[in-house]
């Protein structure tokens, strides 16, 4: 087993549980988009594992674009600021867009991204997240596909990081508090 597993307070979802849920979500997406050509926009780095495992379960013709954003949380920065790292946005005009992200927390990131993509004139736009934190959101985001609802706790693994670490864990778990600054 990975030595970093010791850094978890507890495991929330093991790999088999994640995969079973991905089967269900992929089946729904495949049904919903069976007559539409899908353009998937994945938000890296957090959604990397999720994207790879989910998309391999969707037997539809689709286009894939990845982008990465930096969002600042906490009081030290102006809230709501989301910086897009790549120079040009994917072309989504007239397309059925599905945004993939790892986790919906405040909703800040997905609200900014959705707004930016809507301005480019997609035919439709929906959001799929692996995890959603059960909390009131400063920014309401409607996600048509949610893997798991979780409590407000800091989780890592399966793409999710703490300071860029733990993304390679095969499961999702709560990080030990003593390891967080
Ligand atoms: P939001 O903009 O507040 O919804 O936050 C979204 C981003 O914050 C996610 O894409 C993650 O990168 C990060 N994030 C939020 N909660 C967690 C967590 O519990 N673990 C790891 N990353 C998180
Ligand atoms: Mg992150």
pLDDT at 75: 41
> Which ligand 1 atom is the nearest neighbour of the CA of 154?
19
> Which ligand 1 atom is the nearest neighbour of the CA of 73?
3
pLDDT at 87: 61
Q: Which parts of the chain register pLDDT below 70?
A: 1, 71-80, 86-87
Atom 20, ligand 1: residue with shortest CA distance: 155
Q: 155 CB under 6 A from ligand 1?
A: yes
Contact 126, 25 (CB under 8 A): no
Residue 48: partners with Cβ closer than 8 Å, 6 or more residues away: 42, 159, 167
Q: 100 CB under 6 A from ligand 1?
A: no
pLDDT at 70: 74
Give the catalytic positions in this structure. 105
Distance 34 CA to ligand 2 centre (A): 31
pLDDT at 140: 83
43, containing H or E segment? strand 38-44
User: Please, what is the angle between helix 15-32 and helix 48-55, to 10°?
Assistant: 60
pLDDT at 79: 58
Residue 65: partners with Cβ closer than 8 Å, 6 or more residues away: 39, 40, 41, 42, 90
pLDDT at 32: 98
pLDDT at 83: 77
């Amino acid at each position: 087993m990975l030595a970093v597993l010791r850094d978890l307070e507890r495991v929330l979802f093991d790999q088999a549980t994640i995969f079973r849920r991905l089967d269900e979500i992929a089946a729904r997406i495949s049904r919903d988009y069976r007559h539409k050509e899908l353009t998937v926009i994945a938000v890296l780095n957090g959604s990397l594992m999720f994207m790879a495992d989910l998309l391999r379960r969707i037997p539809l013709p689709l286009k894939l674009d990845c982008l990465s954003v930096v969002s600042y949380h906490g009081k030290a920065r102006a809230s709501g600021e989301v910086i897009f790292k790549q120079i040009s946005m994917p072309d989504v005009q007239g397309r059925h867009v599905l945004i993939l992200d790892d986790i919906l927390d405040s909703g800040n990131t997905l609200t900014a991204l959705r707004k930016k993509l809507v301005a480019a004139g997609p035919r439709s736009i929906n959001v799929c997240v692996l995890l959603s934190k059960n909390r009131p959101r400063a920014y309401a985001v409607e996600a048509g596909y949610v893997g798991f609802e979780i409590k407000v706790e800091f989780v890592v693994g399966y793409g999710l990081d703490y300071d860029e670490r733990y993304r390679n864990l095969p499961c999702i778990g709560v990080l030990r508090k003593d390891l967080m600054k």
